[in-house]
Amino acid sequence: MDPREALRTLDEALARGLEAFARATTLEELEAAQVEVLGRRSPWAGVQRSLGALPAEDRRVVGRRANQVKEELEAALVARRAELERAAEAALLERDRIDVTLPGRRPRPGGLHPLTIVEQEIVDVFTRMGYRVVEGPLVETDWYNFTALNIPPDHPARTEKDTIFLDVPGHPELLLRTETSAMQIRAMERQPPPVYVIAPGRVFRQDTPDATHSPVFHQVEGLAVDEGISFSDLKGTLLAFAKALFGEETRVRMNPDYFPFVEPGAELEVSCFLCRGAGCRTCKGTGWIEMLGCGMVHPNVLRNVGYDPERYTGFAFGMGLERVTMVRYGIPDLRLFYEGDVRFLERFTGVGA
């Protein structure tokens, strides 16, 4: 490349470069123009590589002009980059601009889950009676879940059709608790009588989910052990509970029932708070709603924790939290509690707050 051609190439490179920089509308386009104008394969770079072949005097002239062209191009590049950065920042600010004169967007208020609402109400009723809340592990042993509660080895609840046993090497006795009754044993082991406790919590069964069953659900267990406790104390306690939860006009009745850990055992029904006993779809036309199982603590259960059944007596009761909530709010399908449907949960916004 002779000196005149080199100088002409540099002048053309300067003109094209200034035009390319001015034409770029984004920082990405500007970077591409920089590579095209000053990159290793650009005409300017070609002149630089050819300097060694020029005579000394021509090399000084062309080299000086090459440096001038580079300085002008770099100055134009810096100026254009600053312009584009200011434009990009202005566009970003415009996109994020907030009109302070617009009314604010009020966030959607949250609310308690219906199961939480009813559990808190139940716990509040019994704590006002002097009961205290106890909690325990979800993974239980055969002793606490079955044996200590006087459930015999051949009871159907012990089979894998009902109970979820855990596959832990060396610990065949471990299972997911099937009821919060296990907390009766743990509470009595920790203290001598009197004992007045309420135990809400999750339990697990081998159930297929449908409108009335779930493999995971919630129970609330109650236990009272003291000297001189009788069945009338049990009925009076549950009547006070039913009136507090469903209204002062609520009546209760007890039907004989069997549970291994109580003797005698009973099923508590409450008068339908919707139809007031006249009969409706909720109570299936009977005027009564089945609510919970209860009874006097079996002497064998007291012996298993070291209590003297000749001196102490007690009562226990247990209810399904989902069932109470379904009855309370007229919910037809238990699965609604766990599906997270906002349309369902919005019904309880502000309830129990």
Mean pLDDT of 108-137: 93
Mean pLDDT of 215-236: 96
Mean pLDDT of 49-73: 79
Identify the weakest region by mean pLDDT among 113-127, 151-165, 234-248.
151-165
CA-based R_g, the chain, Å: 41
The model's pTM: 0.68
d(CA 14, CA 34): 12
Q: Which residue has the tokens 């566009």?
A: 91
pLDDT in tens, 291-342: 999 999 999 999 999 999 999 999 999 999 999 998 888 888 999 999 989 8
Q: Which residue has the tokens 């386009």?
A: 29
pLDDT of residue 43: 80
Residue 12 or 181, more confident:
181
d(CA 188, CA 303): 11
pLDDT of residue 174: 94
Q: Give the residue from 138, 120, 140 showing the smallest Cα distance to 128.
A: 120
Residue 30 or 302, more confident:
302
pLDDT of residue 1: 65
Mean pLDDT computed over every residue of the chain: 88
Residue 223 or 93, more confident:
223
Quote the DSSP letter at residue 165: B
Q: Domains plus CATH for the chain?
A: 3-95 (1.10.132), 114-348 (3.30.930.10)
Mean pLDDT of 199-207: 93
